[in-house]
Chain A
Amino acid sequence: MTFLHWAILFPFLFAFMVPFLYKTFRKIHTGWFVLPLPICLFIFFLQFLPGVKYKEGIVQTVKWIPSLGIDFAVYVDGLSLLFALLITGIGSLVVLYSIYYLSKEKEQLNAFYVYLLMFMGAMLGVVLTDNTIVLYTFWEITSFSSFLLIGYWHYRERSRYGALKSMLITVFGGLSMLGGFILLYIMTGTFSIRETIAQSSSIADNGLFIPALILLLLGAFTKSAQFPFYIWLPDAMEAPTPVSAYLHSATMVKAGIYLVARFTPVFAGSAEWFWIVSLFGIFTLFWGSFHAVKQTDLKAMLAFSTVSQLGMIMSLLGVGSAALLFDHFEFYSVAILAAIFHLINHATFKGSLFMVAGIVDHETGTRDIRKLGGLMSLMPITFTIGLIGAFSMAGLPPFNGFLSKEMFFTGMIRVLNMDVFQTETWGFLLPVLAWIGSIFTFIYSMMFVFKTFSGKLQLENLPKKPHEAPIGMLIPPIVLASLVVIFGFFPNLLAYSLIEPAMKSVMPSLLKDGEHFHIHISHWHGFTAEFWMTVGVVILGIFLYLTASKWKRVYDLQPKRMTLNQLYDHSLKTAGKTSNRLTSFYMTGFIRDYLVYIFAFMIMAVGATMIIKQSISFAADDAAPVGIYELILSIVMIAGSITAVLARSRLTAIIALSSVGYSLALFFVLFRAPDLALTQLVIETVSTALFLLAFYFLPELQKKDKTRRFRLVNFIISAGVGGIVTLLAISASSERTGKTIAEYFLETSYSLGGGYNVVNVILVDFRGFDTLFEITVLAIAALAVYSMIRLRTGGKDVEENGFKNE
Chain B
Amino acid sequence: MEIVTSIVAGILFMTATYLMLSKSLLRIIIGTGLLSHGAHLLILTMGGLKKGTVPLLDEHAASYVDPLPQALILTAIVISFGVTAFFLVLAYRSYQELGTDDMDQMRGNDQK
- Where the two chains meet, the residues of A that have a C-beta atom closer than 8 Å to any C-beta of B are 589-592, 595-596, 599, 618, 620, 623-627, 630-631, 634, 637-638, 641-642, 644-645, 650, 653-654, 657, 660-661, 664, 667-668, 671-676, 679-680, 683, 686-687, 690-691, 694-695, 697-699, 701-702, 711, 714-715, 717-719, 721-723, 725-727, 729-730, 732-733, 736, 740-742, 745-746, 749-750, 756-759, 762-763, 767, 770-771, 774, 777-778, 780-782, 784-785, 788-789, 794, 798, 803-806
Contact = CB atoms under 8 A, between A and B. Distances in A.
A785 B89 contact: yes
B44 to A, nearest CB: 6
A722 B11 contact: yes
A638 B18 CA distance: 14
B37 A661 contact: yes
A785 B86 contact: yes
A676 B77 contact: yes
Contacts of A650: 26
A733 B48 contact: yes
Given A630-B1, A694-B91, A687 B65 contact: no
Given A672-B54, A697-B95, A763 B75 contact: yes
A723 B95 contact: no
Given A641-B12, A668-B44, A804-B97, A627 B89 contact: no
Contacts of B8: 634, 637-638
A763 B3 contact: no
Contacts of A664: 37, 40-41
Interface string B85-104: 11011111101111101011
A679 B21 CA distance: 29
Contacts of A781: 82-83, 85-86
Given A618-B3, A630-B4, A671-B44, 7 more contacts: A624-B1, A630-B5, A664-B40, A676-B44, A718-B18, A719-B14, A756-B57
A627 B1 contact: yes
A617 B5 CA distance: 16
B4 A626 contact: yes
| A interface majority secondary structure | helix
Interface string B55-73: 1111000001111101101
Nearest to B7: A726
Give the contact-size bracket for chain B.
35 or more
B46 A732 contact: yes
B71 A762 contact: yes
Contacts of B26: 650, 653, 695, 698, 701
B92 A733 contact: no
Contacts of B45: 729, 733
Nearest to A714: B21
A804 B23 CA distance: 20
Contacts of B73: 673, 676
Contacts of B9: 725-726, 729
Contacts of B70: 673, 675-676, 759
Nearest to B12: A641
A638 B34 CA distance: 11
Given A683-B77, A687-B85, A758-B64, A634 B4 contact: yes
A634 B5 contact: yes
A717 B31 CA distance: 14
A774 B72 CA distance: 11
B15 A718 contact: yes
A724 to B, nearest CB: 8
B56 A620 contact: no
B75 A771 contact: yes
A12 to B, nearest CB: 41
A300 to B, nearest CB: 38
A624 B6 contact: no
A664 B40 CA distance: 9
